[in-house]
């Protein structure tokens, strides 16, 4: 097994997390094709030997990137939201977060472009289901009956994907975040509006 290299610019040894974060950044900047060993090594000021110290191959790195994306973009957000006192506040904060993310984050769209790859498809499916389940649970806490809660949650997650795309192609068409959040939350809670 190769020895892990000491990165001169950072003055410390690289970890698997360092590689996974650099790969996640590269994913957002250039899509899944940018998650490649040599460019990442250059970005980190490392050699390929450092990479192979932590990962068997590129597929293992892609799995680590998908796990990191899933954790940071879904579970960490849910954990933070669960600290808020009530479901209406959680939904409001969730949509504020996702609308702000849509203006900057590119990882979801990059992964969507590679959804034909089985590992990406499986991760995106897990994330979509987890997000829908979370929103539906909040709606049920607010008294929305179960089948309607699931349908509304599916629509809400679809809206997020639309925001994400529209923020890339025509950001000037999106109203202010507060206005968007008000529109989404009010329609989730009272679809007759």
The average confidence (pLDDT) of the chain is 89
pLDDT the model gives residue 190: 77
pLDDT tens-digit series, residues 119-147:
999 999 999 999 999 999 999 999 999 99
**For residue 13, what are the β-bridge partners?**
6
Strands 6-7 and 12-13: antiparallel
pLDDT the model gives residue 8: 40
Q: Is 144 left (phi over 0), alpha (psi -120 to 50) or beta?
A: beta
Tell me the C-alpha distance between 30 and 11, whole Å: 27
Tell me the C-alpha distance between 87 and 79, whole Å: 13
pLDDT tens-digit series, residues 1-54:
333 443 444 457 899 999 999 999 999 999 999 999 999 999 999 999 999 999
pLDDT band at 167 (very low <50, low <70, confident <90, very high): confident
């Amino acid at each position: 097994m190769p020895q892990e290299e000491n990165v001169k610019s950072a003055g410390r040894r690289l970890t698997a997390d360092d590689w996974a974060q650099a790969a996640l950044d590269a994913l957002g900047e250039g899509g899944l094709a940018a998650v490649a060993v040599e460019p990442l090594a250059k970005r980190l000021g490392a050699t390929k030997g450092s990479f192979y110290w932590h990962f068997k191959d590129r597929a293992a790195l892609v799995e680590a990137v998908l796990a990191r994306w899933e954790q940071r973009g879904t579970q960490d957000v849910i954990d933070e939201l669960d600290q808020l006192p009530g479901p209406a506040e959680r939904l409001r904060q969730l949509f504020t977060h996702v609308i702000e993310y849509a203006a900057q984050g590119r990882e979801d769209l990059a992964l969507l472009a590679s959804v034909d790859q089985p590992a990406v498809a499986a991760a995106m499916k897990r994330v979509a289901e987890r997000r829908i389940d979370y929103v539906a649970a909040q709606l049920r806490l607010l008294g929305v009956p179960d089948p309607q809660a699931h349908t509304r949650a599916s629509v809400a997650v679809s809206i997020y994907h639309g925001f994400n795309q529209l923020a890339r192609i025509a950001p000037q068409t999106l109203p202010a975040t507060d206005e968007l959040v008000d529109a989404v939350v009010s329609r989730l809670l009272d679809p007759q509006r």
